[in-house]
Structure 1
Amino acid sequence: MAKTLGPVKRKFSPWTDAGQVPFIRFENVTKRFGPFTAVDNLTLNIYEREFFSLLGPSGCGKTTLMRMLAGFEEPTEGRILLQGQDLAGVPPYRRPTNMMFQSYALFPHMSVEKNIAFGLEQDNLPKGEVTARVEEMLKLVKLDSFAKRKPNQLSGGQRQRVALARSLAKRPKVLLLDEPLGALDRKLREETQFELMDIQTELGLTFLIVTHDQEEAMTVSDRIAVMDKGEIVQVATPAEIYEAPNSRYVADFIGDINIVEGRLQCRGEQSAVIGTDFTAVIDQPCDLADGASVAFAIRPEKVHISTEPPAETVTNAVYGEVWDIAYLGDFSVFIIKREDGLIFRAAQANVSRLVDRPITFGDMVWLSWTADAGLLLTR
């Protein structure tokens, strides 16, 4: 089994096993709206019981991809397979999928329990089974005591749970979530993310979520597909996406990062990025010829900041002025500007309750990092 970079939230990685058959497969899928190509010759495998995120900016094609899986749109070219079955021509109500919309789309005149029961009653399930299923869903989303209330009597978070319960009541094989937490405040959104993960694990379903919120995707996902202009740029676990982005686009899109352009110099098992009065040595072998245009990338939290020069054994260091500081509670971000205009960010955990900052605006400081902290980007 392939080694996974960084921490994983559970021992679950079917994508590393060549013998595993994908649960969902997008096969050379293209979707055009007139002259505009929303999804461009895309191939993607999603596995059973996976919590999978489609992440990207507005207009990148992620919602179109989800809508094609749900049956609301048909591919212009290519196939979409679910458990080996081609979904072409299968209407949405015949597919073993259900979608939870960003707006929740609850019926305002119905109680919570009636909203959850609606789809089951439309399927003509026996009354006893409907009642049992509704009770099960209410317990699952912790809304037992709110069964008789109307949506306008609930908070945003409670309405979100009702929409989730209604989506799960029909026991779909795949739950599709379209920006499901966008209307919630930050604290509630963070709490709900963990609740979604617990529910998905408990039910053993496959979840596919569309989001532009990088933190949300990093929190809930087993894997993430980063999209841009209708194409998938990288598919990997959250840790791999963050620690080993495969391009400047992914590195810059996920989290905060310093990126410096330069020329490649091969040094055996190491590489160096040579810029204007700047050299960064990286523990990464060369895969391009000397002189190639490349970039050096490093996350701010991997950069050490100090008013004292680093030890002579430190390979990578720059000197500059503290231009700005962002205090974010658990950590602070320092914006450092060199004389040549090159700007670096360094993040420092606030591990003690300091009244006076040891480093403040206008200070001249040293930034340093180890050779294994940075990354060489070749595209």
Structure 2
Amino acid sequence: MKSLGNVRRSFAPWIDPKSVPYIRFENVTKKFGDFTAVDNLSLDIFEREFFSLLGPSGCGKTTLLRMLAGFENPTEGDIFLDGQSLKGVAPHNRPVNMMFQSYALFPHMSVEQNIAFGLKQAKMNKSEISDRVQQMLKLVKLEKFAKRKPHQLSGGQRQRVALARSVAKRPKLLLLDEPLGALDKKLREETQFELMDLQQELGLTFVIVTHDQDEAMTMSDRIAVMDAGVVKQIGTPAEVYEAPDSRYVADFIGSVNIFEGEVKQNADGLVKLDSPDGFSEIQAVEDHKFETGQKLFLAIRPEKMNLTRERPTDANAASGEVWEIAYMGDVTNYIVKLDGGKMVRASTINRKRAVENPIGYDEVIWVSFEPDGGTLLDR
């Protein structure tokens, strides 16, 4: 049985027609003067889902989060949480907490005082507050740091304090706005897995805003790729990576090579394109019935490209010259200029510490890929 990538968990209520969305944006538009930040957007998010809003700066993702939190109101449309409209509901009356990139910890308070602050505001009794704070400290593994002030903690520890404070009141929904942006790469990667474990342990719904595609791919059950106030595609990480439905999504998620061509033949699940990009012909596995002469784009990831010194037997092959090589440790990235002039990217996994006669700069080689390696797009 073939599948688009590995599945992080079996949780997938969006494919069940009987499932009721926990969060629903219904024809939501948000304008700031003449600028439209969110444009007639509809979106469903399900309970206990880890959902990412991914896109470049200014695409509207943070505006969506702020409307959900109650810091902004839609110009048009409505937002529903657990079946209830949020119109007129003040931020402090929503079962929602929001965690910001800055963490916003109180510098004069200890770790346990920071975590307890929201509980005191909610007028919980002292024994309940003490028990809840201890639970949170244990959850984020900061029991030994309870008496420290924020300036005595590392960036990752401050991030965990902010997270503990955000979930201490047991909100139904946690909103995270670029929560890992201040961490270094290694710590950010470690914290991503901590967030995933925490979300599943607490059984909460997480909605995260990020411009970091690796972050979204790692943590999310589903991703909404946004641009200019609209959602371009919603899918699991594997779906948006392996089966993008537009050139925008293909180009935004990871590295990609895009070839143009006109349909020469479309039969028996195989589409043949007349390509001007250095290939005499491009063949792609595709069940969709494209019209003869129709202009299409083939999106294929660098790791799906093969590099050989001898002409391969693959249907899709073109020769070219190696222009750039980047050794990244786990992989080596190549930029090859095809005979037709197009630059393409290819990646190879470094399975061995040492390689005999590696491909070098200025070398003439063959670039090829399998017919089922890419995705055909008509937009």
Q: TM-score, normalised by structure 1?
A: 0.97
Corresponding residue of 2:341? 341
Q: Give identity over the alignment, percent.
A: 63
Corresponding residue of 1:304? 306
Corresponding residue of 1:10? 9
In the alignment, the residues of structure 2 paired with residue 133 and residue 265 of structure 1 have an alpha-carbon distance, to the nearest angstrom, of 66
In the alignment, the residues of structure 1 paired with residue 265 and residue 136 of structure 2 have an alpha-carbon distance, to the nearest angstrom, of 59
- Contact preservation (8 Å) 1:320, 1:337: yes
In the alignment, the residues of structure 1 paired with residue 77 and residue 357 of structure 2 have an alpha-carbon distance, to the nearest angstrom, of 58
- Identify the range of structure 1 (346-355 vs 235-244) with the bigger mean alpha-carbon deviation: 346-355
- Contact preservation (8 Å) 1:273, 1:296: no
- Contact preservation (8 Å) 1:317, 1:367: yes
In the alignment, the residues of structure 2 paired with residue 86 and residue 127 of structure 1 have an alpha-carbon distance, to the nearest angstrom, of 34
Q: Which amino acid aligns with 2:316?
A: N
Corresponding residue of 1:244? 243
SS at match of 1:175: strand
In the alignment, the residues of structure 2 paired with residue 228 and residue 281 of structure 1 have an alpha-carbon distance, to the nearest angstrom, of 31
Corresponding residue of 1:323? 323
In the alignment, the residues of structure 2 paired with residue 103 and residue 267 of structure 1 have an alpha-carbon distance, to the nearest angstrom, of 53
**Residue 74 (str. 1) matches residue 73 (str. 2):** yes
Deviations 1:15-41 (A, max 9, x none): 000000000000000000000000000
Give 1:356 deviation, angstroms. 5.4
Corresponding residue of 1:217? 216
Corresponding residue of 1:151? 150
The alpha-carbon distance between structure 1 residues 357 and 219, as it changes in their structure 2 partners (threshold 3 A), is farther
**Residue 31 (str. 1) matches residue 33 (str. 2):** no
Q: Which amino acid aligns with 2:290?
A: L
Corresponding residue of 1:377? 377
The alpha-carbon distance between structure 1 residues 145 and 334, as it changes in their structure 2 partners (threshold 3 A), is same
Corresponding residue of 2:163? 164
Deviations 1:63-92 (A, max 9, x none): 000000000000000010001000000000
- Identify the range of structure 1 (265-274 vs 206-215) with the bigger mean alpha-carbon deviation: 265-274
Give 1:159 deviation, angstroms. 0.4
SS at match of 2:198: helix
In the alignment, the residues of structure 2 paired with residue 371 and residue 355 of structure 1 have an alpha-carbon distance, to the nearest angstrom, of 28
In the alignment, the residues of structure 2 paired with residue 56 and residue 289 of structure 1 have an alpha-carbon distance, to the nearest angstrom, of 32
Deviations 1:240-272 (A, max 9, x none): 010000000000000011001222233202112
Corresponding residue of 1:274? 274
The alpha-carbon distance between structure 1 residues 86 and 158, as it changes in their structure 2 partners (threshold 3 A), is same
- Identify the range of structure 1 (150-159 vs 340-349) with the bigger mean alpha-carbon deviation: 340-349
- Contact preservation (8 Å) 2:266, 2:292: no
- Structure 1, unmatched stretches of 5+, are none
- Identify the range of structure 1 (314-323 vs 4-13) with the bigger mean alpha-carbon deviation: 4-13
Deviations 1:180-236 (A, max 9, x none): 000000000000000000000101100000000000000000000000000000000
Give 1:355 deviation, angstroms. 5.8
SS at match of 1:200: helix
Q: Which amino acid aligns with 1:210?
A: V
- Contact preservation (8 Å) 1:27, 1:42: yes
Corresponding residue of 1:120? 119
In the alignment, the residues of structure 2 paired with residue 43 and residue 85 of structure 1 have an alpha-carbon distance, to the nearest angstrom, of 16
In the alignment, the residues of structure 2 paired with residue 267 and residue 21 of structure 1 have an alpha-carbon distance, to the nearest angstrom, of 40
Give 1:339 deviation, angstroms. 2.5
The alpha-carbon distance between structure 1 residues 251 and 12, as it changes in their structure 2 partners (threshold 3 A), is same
The alpha-carbon distance between structure 1 residues 292 and 230, as it changes in their structure 2 partners (threshold 3 A), is same
**Residue 190 (str. 1) matches residue 192 (str. 2):** no
Deviations 1:4-59 (A, max 9, x none): 63211111000000000000000000000000000000000000000000000000
Q: CA-atom RMSD, angstroms?
A: 1.2
In the alignment, the residues of structure 1 paired with residue 293 and residue 74 of structure 2 have an alpha-carbon distance, to the nearest angstrom, of 43
